[in-house]
Amino acid sequence: MNGLISLFRRLEGPQTKGRGLLFWSVFMVALIGAIAYPMFSDGYTVGNTAYFFVWVFIALSLCLIWGYGGALSFGQTAFFGIAGYSYGILTLNFGAAYGFTLVAVLAAVAIAAVVALLLGYFMFFGRIEGVFLGIVTLAVTLMLERFMAQTAGPDWRIGAARLNGFNGMSGMPPITIPWFDGPIVLFADVGLYYLILALVVVVYLGLRILVNSSFGNVIVAIRENPERAEMLGYDIRKYQLINFVIGAGLAGLSGVLYTAWGQYITPSSMGMTSAALPLIWVAVGGRSDLTSTLVGTLVVLAGFQALTIYGSQYALVVMGLLLVLTVLIAPNGLVLGAMNVIGRLVARAKGGRN
């Protein structure tokens, strides 16, 4: 019980913005709004909203690795793809009976994490840092896309699952929960929305606890000054590697949910453009804070979607412009900047009363 209470105390801390009654009231209002939302909307729209939430995990993973850990990884999209393809291959082979899709979700995330462990071992124990880390991870991502794109033809199959080259895999079963009176199949509808919403809340709160724990403090210390962290006796390679693997798992979760949501996955979901998008959400939102990343991701995604209606080819140009301008003008991110201003105003209001 005491352990649980101290765990909850970690929800607030030096590494996360937002504390106190006001912040958590806003959080609860937002959460209740999100829970009540399907009652005021139709299944199709709710399914589309679930699609936005799918991307939150990969954004948070980048926030953790890049924003908190200071290691710019372009590999998140690779882990996204690996997990997505793994889910497809597993479920196409073993079907959806007996709750196997849930096992497949876990297995796919685990596969992404293991790949990250291997890659991360070579990178962090080779002590490459800064820009090189970005390049190596990007090279891995591009390579994976090229590899999957050429897997057309009947030779490329794993069991019953054909990889289908550039067209990608499709037709895998959605997530299915076994239940007493028949299994519940979560199509891109209200059911899947609630599952993903629950995961978002759990992951968000879990990450808040993680980054405010001693592990999170060490990660931030490494970002601020790797030599100093090492002098203090931490094996920074291990911390970076663990952080990288956690991030890869989260990116993998996005990939699995994406595949289960639309029942397809293609190699272009690992391409240059797909790798750029999470970066844009996180950079625009505010990479060094979980809440800013979460809000920024949803806002930018919604904006992107709105732009796409008017012309998808222009939407990407706008996104690129947004990224360049954010880096030049507000390097900490727009949402984080706004939250800092609000925090200052609240503090001033309190100061005025005293």
Partner 1 sequence: MDIATFAFAALYQFADAFAFLVLSACGLAVIFGMMGVINLAHGEFIMCGAYVTATAVHAGLPLPLAILAGALVSAVVGMLVEFVVVRHLYERPLDTIVATWGLSLIATQGTLIVIGSTMAGVGTPFGSFQVGAYSYSIYRIVLFLAALGVLGSLYALFNWTSFGVKARATIQVPHMADALGVDTRWIYSLTFACGAGLAGLAGGLYAPTMTLVPTMGATFLMEAFVTVVIGGADVFLGTAPAAAVLAVVKSVMTSWQGQLFGQIGLLVAVIIVVRVLPKGISGFLLRERT
> Based on CB atoms, which residue is closest to partner 1, 33 or 126?
126
308 lines the binding site for partner 1 (CB under 8 A):
no
236 lines the binding site for partner 1 (CB under 8 A):
no
Q: How many residues bind partner 1 (CB under 8 A)?
A: 42
* Stretch of 6-14, 55-63, 228-236, 276-284 lying at the interface with partner 1 (CB under 8 A): 276-284
Measure the CA angle with vertex 42, ends 37 and 44; round to 5°: 110
Among 160, 272, 346, 347, binds partner 1 (CB under 8 A): 272
Cβ pair 135, 127 in contact under 8 A = no
Among 9, 147, 225, 232, binds partner 1 (CB under 8 A): 147
50 lines the binding site for partner 1 (CB under 8 A):
no
Encoded amino acid at 56, one letter:
V
> Based on CB atoms, which residue is closest to partner 1, 86 or 141?
141
296 lines the binding site for partner 1 (CB under 8 A):
no
313 lines the binding site for partner 1 (CB under 8 A):
yes
> Based on CB atoms, which residue is closest to partner 1, 49 or 164?
164
> Based on CB atoms, which residue is closest to partner 1, 46 or 251?
251
CB of 344 to partner 1, least distance (A): 24
Residue 116-135 contact track with partner 1, rule CB under 8 A, x = bound? ---x--xx-xxxx-xxx-xx
How far apart CA 69 and CA 15 sit, in angstroms, is 12
At residue 200, φ and ψ (nearest 5 deg) are: -60, -45
Encoded amino acid at 165, one letter:
G
> Based on CB atoms, which residue is closest to partner 1, 94 or 156?
156
How far apart CA 256 and CA 78 sit, in angstroms, is 12
Residue 62-81 contact track with partner 1, rule CB under 8 A, x = bound? --------x-x---------
Residues that bind partner 1 (CB under 8 A): 70, 72, 119, 122-123, 125-128, 130-132, 134-136, 138-140, 142-143, 146-147, 150, 272-273, 276, 279-280, 283, 313-314, 316-317, 319-324, 327-328, 331
